[in-house]
Structure 1
């Protein structure tokens, strides 16, 4: 049973920021430290620092010949079945890293020339050069190392969706980059069927198809070796009818089959090829339909019906708020991620309805910062289920929560605005006074955005927002 079903959330995967796992079996997705390392959102940056801290500590101890202490670092790489990610059969059981596996991983790293020659710089490099090290192990190690980040994310999502947590549950060991050691604490945890469950942001999960030994070998190593065989005019060179020389990848594969020892030796001799592989390997967040099959037009029609059935007024504010969170998740993913409910600011004296982390790699949310110079690491959302138009107090309420550190961009969601030109002029006054950028969005806008939503193409949404922002800032 999926999390959304277990807790009767009434939401599809598109409306949720986390992977809506089935707790009775594994979902074939992974936590990929390489993908995390190339992301620019705050959660990923912190997770990446933690991962790098752990592995650098391990390499330092190995290189200093402090083998026993290095081995101890791997003692807490238990079999995590809390994320329900991976490729286990039947019930999730964390096939990747158990005690036997962690001992084997450590021994392979210790014996590998790749670690002693500096080829292995990051945790994900093990998948290229260490025998027996696959994406399941890499994902499981990552889960253990960043467990605290996953716990905190789970807590925020449970608060957002009113999912109950259990008090005073042991966290399990996680790596602390500040103390440079494994730590644990007691905290609130999500318990399902007597088992701890960690929710994973869908924006950072992947199929782990990019940073792999197969891709490195087939598209970088073999390409280079083809050129080298031609350069030295080796016996592998063949000639076409017109006399032009060529070398097949098949002939090189036969002479130099793919093994991790071969990749390590090749990379030691040709470090620029490995560097090129790392620099040219890119990856994007999965589209919703890669995670879960769903009829998007049918879902959007349902959401619009739900929206029309919510009566304006404070007594229905919670229903409106809850629905809007899911709609915004659909419209803004993967540019805005990790929604959090009512984040306290100013020592708790003020609260923001919702905040999203800005993870945009392109589009309007990136241009706001890069081209317009507006701080927007977080995007703030206020939901007003009013019968009438919002006025200056609502604008002042939202702009009063902006700051250079939190960001100075927010959306004011409301049911309708009869005099949109007047309200946009008020937003323009706020912007011109350098009190931040407030973007109004009404039910009619939501209808327009959902009707034109496409999981594979965000151009319409980007153009709509750019046009609305241009009305305010010009």
Structure 2
């Protein structure tokens, strides 16, 4: 194989014929890191089944650790922390050169335990989530929280990696050490031999790109300045403390500079004042969850120093294919690449040929609806749309009742009742539109059909809006189904 360049991307190393725009995972270098972090608050803001599993696992781990702190059970606490090993399978962070990892590790585990157990935040219930440690514990920053979260979530991330390898055709090797996996039922780290991808630089674990951020949301100084200090100012005014100044116009003020001078501005002071003003932390957590959004394609391209997304090229790959059954598989793959690009981050985790009804039916492409804003979020809030289904018809003829009935038969109350029927062209658009409307009126689901021309318009709308998530064409077509 020869000497490999550590900067080679996963997509390049495995010759996937894709780039970050059309991949669901972070396309990391196989031997180096890229400066993004897995952000627990990003996961908590998602409302998918996978995110719920991850959030529960993070919550369980941290609650158990805090129980050991309150019980002064140092041995058990250290065993938990030492499992957050400094491994380099994820390739996220700020390591220079070869990936180093910045997990907890044995040496830092003792320091971290000492900081947690000696902190009022650790014993009084102030700490609730793993990322809270960024606000109150010295020596804990985004890189350590990200690596710790990756290790706690190793089990779900292994399953995600295996699924992505099967989906994109990345080879798996047998008998690979899993590394420590946290088992919430036994409260122990466990390991086993499993199937994982391995590069010349070691085992590889993939992370969904929808879960990462370039800058960690939790920031001690931002929290202190914009949330805690205003509460402290209100309190000082309410007791008419010596920090209150009366201005010439009769107004009173307490400066943030005076508060920092009196109470300090380090993490110990932040923890102490948060105990006195807990509403500040609750407001901060709420706003972080509300405003936590994934990175866009263009930001990822800038961070990773790769070419900007070329959506028109993806469209050309679809429309350059010949019509007919012989190109059906290539057409489905090209459609998936295009939709995965223009619908991210609203739709994620695509699955092709997903089996339902015990394998008796298959869905060409299934997406998880991860939207927090825009058209797909509106769909999820008002209709059964936990998943969005796509059927691809590389037809040069009329799409009729059988095709409409086929996708309608894939719907279900729990799976979702919204789908896209993608075809090359239609001879009678009004008739197909009526068939889709009849399906909606019969309560059999909502089908939006898209032709080659519709896809071109969809891409133009997306690029003109700089990656907006409103998708006016989809909303117009959906309104025609229900009005």
Counterpart residue number, 1:436: 445
Contact 1:159 1:341 in 2 (8 A): no
Tell me what 1:121 maps to: 128
Instruction: Describe the SS at the equivalent of 1:36.
Output: helix
Spell out, residue by residue over 1:85-125, the C-alpha distance to the aligned partner (whole angstroms, 9 max, x if none).
Answer: 11111111102322212232222212222111111112111
Separation in 2, partners of 1:145, 1:288 = 27
Q: Secondary structure at the match of 2:410?
A: coil
For residues 32-61 of structure 1, the C-alpha deviation after alignment (integer angstroms, 9 at most, x for no partner) is 212211221222111101100111122223
User: 2: CA distance between counterparts of 1:170 and 1:415?
Assistant: 47
Q: Which residue of 2 aligns with 1:44?
A: 51
Matches within 5 A, 1:232-251: 232-238=239-245, 240=247, 242-251=249-258
> How far off is 1:69 after superposition?
2.1
Q: Secondary structure at the match of 1:453?
A: helix
Using structure 1 for the length normalisation, give the TM-score. Answer: 0.93
Choose from 329, 334, 341 the match for 1:330: 341
SS at match of 1:163: coil
Structure 1 residue 327, shift from structure 2 partner: 1.0
Distance 1:157 1:262, change over 3 A: same
> Match of 1:321?
332
Structure 1 residue 144 displacement after superposition: 0.6
Query: What's the CA shift for 1:209?
Result: 3.6
SS of structure 2 residue aligned to 1:387:
coil
- How has the CA–CA distance of structure 1 residues 118 and 324 changed in structure 2, closer, same or farther, with 3 Å as cutoff? same
Q: Aligned partners of 2:447 and 2:419: how far apart in 1?
A: 5
**Corresponding residue for 1:376?**
385
Shift of residue 168 of structure 1? Answer: 3.1
Is 1:406 aligned to residue 412 of structure 2? no
Q: In structure 1, how many angstroms separate the alpha carbons of the residues matched to 2:203 and 2:465?
A: 34
Q: Structure 2 residue aligned with 1:15, among 16, 22, 40?
A: 22
Q: Distance in 2 between matches of 1:61 and 1:95?
A: 23
Distance 2:200 2:396 in 1: 43
In 2, Cα distance between the equivalents of 1:175 and 1:59? 16
Deviations 1:117-163 (A, max 9, x none): 11111211111111211111111110011112112222222222222
Q: In structure 1, what is the Cα distance between the partners aligned to 2:385 and 2:477?
A: 17
Query: Scaled by the length of structure 2, what TM-score is found?
Result: 0.91
1:165 aligns with 2:176: no
Contact 1:157 1:339 in 2 (8 A): no
Structure 2 partner of 1:6: 13
Contact 2:88-2:100 at 8 Å conserved across structures:
yes
Deviation, 1:68, is: 2.0
Task: Summarize the alignment of residues 342-421 of structure 1 with structure 2, pairs less than 5 Å apart.
Answer: 342-371=353-382, 374-421=383-430
- Kindly indicate whether the alpha-carbon contact (under 8 Å) linking 1:42 and 1:357 is maintained by their aligned counterparts in 2: no
Q: Work out whether residues 75 and 99 of structure 1, in 8 Å CA contact, stay in contact via their aligned partners in 2.
A: yes
Q: Does 1:142 align with 2:153?
A: no
- Aligned partner of 1:454 in structure 2 is 463
2:60 maps to which residue?
53
- Contact 1:287/1:455, CA 8 A, preserved across alignment: no
The answer to whether the 8 Å contact 1:331/1:461 transfers is no
Counterpart selection for 2:73 from 62, 66, 69: 66
Deviations 1:421-441 (A, max 9, x none): 111111122222222112211
Q: Where in structure 2 are there 5+ consecutive unaligned residues?
A: 1-7
* Contact 1:80–1:143 (Cα < 8 Å) also in 2: no
Of 293, 313, 316, the match for 1:284: 293
- Can you list the C-alpha shifts for 1:285-322, whole angstroms capped at 9, x where unaligned? 111111113666x7123223322321112222222222
Which stretch has the larger CA shift, 456-465 or 396-405? Answer: 456-465
Segment drifting more, 340-349 vs 77-86:
340-349
Distance between the aligned counterparts of 2:319 and 2:339, measured in 1? 16
- Provide the residue aligned with 2:5 in structure 1: none
Deviation string, structure 1 residues 241-261 (Cα, Å, up to 9, x no partner) = 545443332333333332111
Structure 2 CA distance for partners of 1:162 and 1:38, relative to 1, 3 Å: same
CA positional deviation for 1:349: 2.5
| Matched position secondary structure for 1:452 | helix
For the 8 Å contact 2:121–2:271, the answer to whether it is kept is yes
Structure 1: distance between partners of 2:351 and 2:167: 6
Structure 1 Cα separation of the partners of residues 422 and 316 of structure 2: 17
Of 411, 422, 431 in structure 1, the residue corresponding to residue 431 of structure 2 is: 422
Among candidates 177, 182, 197, match of residue 189 of structure 2: 182
